[in-house]
Structure 1
Amino acid sequence: MNKLFKTALASLVIIPSCFAEWETLQTNGEPVARHEAGFIDVDDKAYLVGGRRVNPVSIYDPATKTWTQGAKSPIEIHHFQPVVYEGEIWVVGAMTGRFPNETPVDKILIYNPENDAWRWGPAIPEGRARGGAGVSIHNGKIYLSAGITRGHMGGFIPWHDSFDPKSGKWTQLPDAPHARDHFQSAVLDNKLYLAGGRQTSRETNEVFSRTVGPVDVYDFASESWSTLEEDLPTPRAGNTTFSYGRKIIVIGGETGEQKTAHNEVEAYHVDNENWEILPSLNRGRHGTGIAIIRCNLYTSSGSGNRGGSPELTDIECISCDKLN
């Protein structure tokens, strides 16, 4: 089947619309339970990758509301924000191993959805490997921001690096204003936003408490940082962050202030320069991501409480129209 015909067939796929509030979907099957994983869309399907332990990829098809299982990752990978580059899922800046002495993965891992196969990618420069970082793509380059170098023991850093997959070149960029880990980044209007996270330090008994409220912004044009005047309204770590329309949206997370994971959904409107409250999740969760498919937003898996349990297997959906 040629590529043009496959594209034409894909355009005929009907995906049910979600509601204006978060809806917990009834599905055929369920994903492998996990947290500190990645959840992302490729070609109208959502992929749940990594997480604590060595897990298969769990694949959700919204057209049939069906979960299937793919290949297992070659090693345990967790605490990362996946990105899609040329139709493949890239895992940059992950951790491996058990709490609290996890170690950074020193190479990029790549999953090919079409072949259902993993392969190793380029190495991360010596001394710059970390996990729990923000990872975003802009103009064909991958940006790895902040993170932590010594698992949950400590070593949170403000580092900021770029990687060009075409040339294989890494570049060290100016440090962010705030060190942070357990967060995600997003790109909008030629700017990179670092929102949420914390400064994890088990060696000082501060695993959950040191959340980071300020939102740091990197201007790609000037290669300089600034910080928003208004902090994230609900500071939290383990959050999902993404851009949609004119907004930077922060979903879920965990803090030391409550046992249950956060269900808050807050959005920064870049034109109005203010924060808005959007519909809350049905179930608070942290350690997962977002998939955007045909104007529907999906989130799945993660942990329902602070820490590692319970690991969730449900999936929630909301219409993108509610975000405008």
Structure 2
Amino acid sequence: MLTRSLPPALALLLLLCFSCATRRTEVARVGEWETVETATKPVARHEAAFVAVGDRYYLLGGRGIRPVSIYDTRTRQWTEGARPPVEIHHFQPVVYGGEVYLLGAMTGGYPGETPLPHVYIYSPATDSWRQGHEIPADRRRGGAGAVLHEGLIYLVAGIRDGHRGDHKPWLDAYDPATGEWTRLPDAPRPRDHFQAAVVDGKLYAAAGRTTVAATNPFANTIGAVDVYDLASQQWTTLEEEIPTRRAGTAAIGLPGQLIVIGGESDTQELAHAEVEALDVSSGQWRTLPPLVRGRHGTGIVHDDGHLLMASGCGRRGGEPELADMIRAAVR
């Protein structure tokens, strides 16, 4: 930038503006994954949820009715909590008001699982479950992405008929304080078996598939990444697809980036160990260190300078269910 012929004050202003325009969010670096040694083990499960509330981690749901597994970061021990009132699986949890909200979930056995008609809430403070608001009958689905943003829970996409079909591109905003549901613009495409994340005021829907058990339940994986601007309420699709197509992934938003982890596909028997990060400023993907063991059907926690995962399934499908915890440092 040429500033010599300009008055000093104007030159300084232009330099400051140029600096602001070119400044980018510093992207965190994710290190190698390792197994966390713990005094006890959680209940093995998959198609479940993993969240942090306070100084404890919680594994919830999964196929069958599994008790909550609670990890105390101070004692490094897992203990068992309450069992849910119904079977809850294929959902992305949301922590709101110190409680865990479960919606966009399935119940029942493969391949004809049905969407749960109500929101279910787990209270870590009392180790108890309760049934929450009813979900509108014409917006029920499972395998959907769910994120919290400014007091609202956004539920995106999903599948209505278990693993058999009826995939939806729907987007809804649910107010957990009032129970109100608001229909928002449909995503550019349907998808299920994925997790969503919010980065810099935008909701990202990446990975997943449109499941059809009758032909190949692991096929139809999706490469396109759809982005919803929460302020303008408009969808766009990124030019660059996710490098490794897979479903059953975990996802998390970190400053300036979306991270997609693990999964399953029809390209390999083992669950995916890939960890891939999208720089939301450039729209470019990069490869991060892989998991120490691939897995699908669980979640991801960011706490105490680490990304952590627990449980999941080590091969595509339902076996073996894992009972471990792994982590990678975030710097």
Q: Following the alignment from structure 1 to structure 2, what is the Cα–Cα distance between the partners of residues 72 and 164?
A: 26
Q: Distance in 1 between matches of 2:203 and 2:31?
A: 28
Query: For the residues of structure 2 that align with 1:141 and 1:152, how far apart are their CA atoms?
Result: 28
Correspondence for 1:16:
none
Match of 1:114 among 125, 130, 133: 125
Q: Is the 8 A contact 2:40 2:78 kept in 1?
A: yes
Counterparts of 1:51-200 in structure 2 under 5 Å? 51-200=62-211
Q: Quick one: distance in 1 between partners of 2:140 and 2:234?
A: 22
TM-score (norm 1): 0.92
**Distance in 1, Cα, partners of 2:227 & 2:47:** 24
What amino acid does structure 2 have at the position aligned with 1:51? G
- Structure 1 position 34 matched with structure 2 position 45: yes
Residues 1:213 and 2:233 aligned together:
no
2:180 is aligned with what amino acid? K
Per-residue deviation at 1:64?
A: 2.4
Post-superposition offset of 1:273 = 2.0
Q: Post-superposition shift, 1:261?
A: 0.1
Counterpart amino acid of 2:239?
E
Match of 1:284 in 2: 294
The aligned counterpart of 1:294 is 304
Separation (CA, whole Å) in 1 of partners of 2:126 and 2:309: 24
More displaced 10-residue stretch of structure 1: 274-283 or 166-175: 166-175
Q: Secondary structure at the match of 2:68?
A: strand
Q: Tell me how far 1:166 sits from its aligned partner.
A: 2.3
Offset of 1:243 from its aligned partner?
A: 0.3
1:7 aligns with: none
Tell me how far 1:241 sits from its aligned partner.
0.6
Measured against aligned partners, the alpha-carbon deviations of 1:91-150 in whole angstroms (never above 9, x if no partner) come to 011100000010000100000001000000001111110000000011100001000000
Structure 2: stretches of 5+ with no match in the other structure: 1-29
Preserved CA contact (<8 Å) 1:45 1:293: no
Matched, 1:249 2:240: no
Shift of 1:20: 3.2
> Matched residues in 2 for 1:294 and 1:95: separation?
32
* Distance of 2:302 and 2:169 partners within structure 1: 29
Indicate conservation of the 8 Å contact 2:200/2:255, yes or no. no
Q: Give me the whole-angstrom Cα distance separating, in 2, the residues matched to 1:195 and 1:268.
A: 10
Q: 8 Å contact 1:95–1:103 — kept in the other structure? A: yes
One-letter amino acid matched to 2:282:
N
1:311 aligns with 2:321: yes
Matched letter for residue 193 of structure 1: Y
How many percent of aligned residue pairs carry the same amino acid?
Answer: 54
Structure 1 runs (4+) greater than 4 angstroms displaced: none
Say whether the 8 Å CA contact 1:44–1:294 is kept in structure 2: no
Letter in 2 for 1:199: T
* Number of equivalenced pairs: 302
Which string of whole-angstrom CA distances, capped at 9 and with x for unpartnered residues, describes residues 155-193 of structure 1? 111011111122321011111001100000000111100
Q: 1:89 is aligned with what amino acid?
A: V
Matched residue type, 2:285: W
CA shift, 1:30, in A, is 0.5
Residue number in structure 2 paired with 1:3? none
The equivalent position to 1:265 in structure 2, one of 272, 275, 281, is: 275
Question: What code does the residue aligned with 2:187 have?
Answer: A
Pick which of 291-300 and 72-81 moved more. Answer: 291-300
Asked which structure has the greater CA Rg, the reply is 2
Shift of 1:44: 2.2
1:259: how far off? Answer: 0.2
Aligned to 1:20: 31
Q: Which moved more, 1:311-320 or 1:258-267?
A: 311-320
Aligned AA (1:277): T
Unpaired segments ≥5 residues, structure 1: 1-18
For residue 213 of structure 1, report the CA deviation from its aligned partner. 0.5
Name the structure 1 match of 2:10. none
> Equivalent residue for 1:274?
284
